[in-house]
Amino acid sequence: MRPLFLLAWSACTSVLCAQTPVTHDVVVYGDSAAAVAAAIQAKRQGLDVVLVNSTDFLGGMTCSGLSASDIFHREAVGGVARELYGRIGQHYGKAYVDYFEPHVAQAAMDGMVKDAGVKVFLNEQLDRSAGGVSKEGTQLKSFRTLSGKVFVAKVFIDASYVGDLMAAAGVSYAVGREPNTLFTETLNGAQRGDNKPRKHYTQKDKDHFIKDVDPYVKAGDPASGLLPFVFAEDPVTGEGDRRIQAYNYRLCVTTDPANRLPFTKPEGYRELDHEMLLRNLEAGDVRFPALLHKLPNGKPTGTPCMPWARTMWAPTGPTRSRLRDAAENRASPRALYSRPPLDAREPSPRPSGDPHAGRRLWTLQRRVPDPRWLLAHDLYSRGPAPPRGLCHDRAGL
* Domain contains 10: no
AA identity, residue 70: D
Distances (CA, A) of 15 to 8, 10, 131: 11, 9, 22
Task: Provide the pLDDT for residue 7.
Answer: 40
Same-domain status, 190 and 337:
yes
* Domain contains 127: yes
* Domain contains 6: no
Same-domain status, 143 and 128:
yes
* Domain contains 339: yes
Task: Provide the pLDDT for residue 380.
Answer: 55
Same-domain status, 197 and 141:
no
* Domain contains 134: yes
* Domain contains 2: no
AA identity, residue 170: G
Same-domain status, 154 and 186:
no
Distances (CA, A) of 21 to 43, 106, 120, 149, 169: 19, 30, 15, 8, 19
**Beta carbons within 8 Å of 96's beta carbon, 6+ residues apart:** 74, 82, 85, 86, 89
Contact indicator for 277, 307 with CB cutoff of 8 Å: no
Among 174, 200, 234, residue at a domain's last position: 174
* Domain contains 359: yes
Boundaries of domain holding 58? 22-174
Among 174, 200, 233, residue at a domain's last position: 174
Same-domain status, 150 and 298:
no
* Domain contains 384: no
121 three-state secondary structure = strand
Chain mean position to CA 185: 27
Same-domain status, 148 and 101:
yes
91 closest CA partner among 297, 229, 294, 280: 297
297 three-state secondary structure = helix
Same-domain status, 120 and 230:
no
Same-domain status, 51 and 193:
no
Same-domain status, 112 and 82:
yes
Same-domain status, 205 and 110:
no
Question: What's the CA gap between 206 and 286, in Å, rounded?
Answer: 11
Residue 220: half-sphere exposure toward Cβ, Cα within 13 Å? 0
Task: Give the predicted TM-score (pTM) of the model.
Answer: 0.77
Q: What is the CATH number of the domain that holds 47?
A: 3.50.50.60
Same-domain status, 90 and 169:
yes
Q: How does strand 150-158 pair with strand 173-174?
A: unpaired
Among 174, 208, 234, residue at a domain's last position: 174
Task: Report the domain count for the chain.
Answer: 2
Task: Provide the pLDDT for residue 307.
Answer: 66
Same-domain status, 316 and 226:
yes
Number of CB atoms found within 10 A of residue 46's CB: 8
In tens digits, the chain (397 residues) has pLDDT values of 444 444 443 444 444 444 578 899 999 999 999 999 999 999 999 999 999 999 999 999 898 888 888 777 788 788 999 999 999 999 999 988 889 999 999 999 999 999 999 999 999 999 999 899 999 999 999 999 999 999 999 999 999 988 899 999 999 888 888 899 988 888 788 877 665 555 544 455 666 778 899 999 999 999 999 998 888 878 888 898 887 766 667 778 888 888 888 777 777 778 888 888 889 888 988 877 777 888 999 998 877 777 665 555 555 555 555 555 555 545 444 444 444 444 445 444 333 334 445 555 545 455 565 555 556 655 555 555 555 555 555 544 4
Contact indicator for 378, 185 with CB cutoff of 8 Å: yes
Q: How does strand 361-362 pair with strand 119-121?
A: unpaired
